[in-house]
């Protein structure tokens, strides 16, 4: 379920420390994962090196866990992500520090939505540490907001 931009602020404010911890507890698991793809992609035929198959990419469970927690907490944002030029700039620069929580959640939403069209893109965002860095910045933001 995706929240719209008009309601995401109130949803963020309503989340308890325990709710956020469901997401933040996944950060060490992300840090300790080396490869975020379980199987799939381009598979060479062991009997014929000139042949290969392209199969759907299956991500490791940590990728699904992060997406599941974000979905259950209703933190995925519905917006015209493909036209979000500021987001494209942020992603190109890989600079996630000092961004507000809504922008960070929009970035994760972009990665998840884009994965629907480009199989394996989400796993790459885990591998290049983008997701980890975004979650750490969200954690920092939330910690600074709580009394």
Query: CB 133: neighbour CB atoms within 10 A?
Result: 16
Q: Which residues of 55-80 are buried (b: 16+ CB within 10 A; e: fewer)?
A: eebbbbebbebbbebbeebbbbbebe
* Token pair 């840090």 in the structure block, residue: 31
User: Please, which pLDDT band fits residue 90 given cuts at 50, 70 and 90?
Assistant: very high
The β-bridge relationship of strands 2-4 and 76-78 is parallel
Banded model confidence at residue 1, pLDDT cuts 50, 70, 90: low
Nearest-angstrom CA–CA distance, 35 and 16: 31
pLDDT in tens, 98-130: 999 999 999 999 999 998 888 888 999 999 999
User: What is the structure's pLDDT at 126?
Assistant: 96
Q: Evaluate whether 123 touches 37 at the Cβ level (below 8 Å).
A: yes
d(CA 126, CA 140) in angstroms, rounded, equals 19
Least confident of 14-23, 50-59, 82-91, 112-121: 50-59
Q: Is residue 60 very low, low, confident or very high in pLDDT (cuts 50, 70, 90)?
A: confident
- Contact between residue 67 and residue 110 where contact means Cβ atoms under 8 Å apart: no
The confidence score (pLDDT) of residue 17 equals: 94
Task: Output the pTM of the full model.
Answer: 0.86
pLDDT given at position 106: 96
pLDDT of residue 30: 97
Least confident segment among 12-16, 37-41, 114-118, 130-134: 37-41
User: Residue 135: pLDDT above 90?
Assistant: yes
Number of H helices, E strands in the chain: 8, 4
């Amino acid at each position: 379920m995706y929240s719209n931009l008009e309601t995401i602020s109130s949803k963020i404010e309503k989340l308890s420390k325990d709710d956020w911890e469901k997401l933040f507890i996944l950060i060490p698991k992300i840090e300790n994962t080396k490869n975020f793809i379980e199987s799939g992609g381009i598979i060479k035929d062991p009997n014929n090196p000139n042949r290969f198959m392209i199969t759907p990419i299956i991500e490791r469970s940590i990728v699904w866990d992060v997406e599941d927690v974000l979905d259950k907490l209703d933190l995925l944002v519905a917006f015209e992500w493909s036209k979000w030029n500021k987001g494209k700039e942020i992603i190109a620069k890989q600079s996630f520090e000092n961004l507000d929580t809504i922008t960070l959640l929009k970035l994760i939403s972009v990665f998840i939505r884009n994965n629907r069209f480009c199989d394996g893109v989400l796993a790459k965002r885990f591998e290049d540490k983008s997701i980890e860095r975004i979650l750490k910045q969200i954690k920092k933001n939330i910690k600074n907001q709580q009394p």
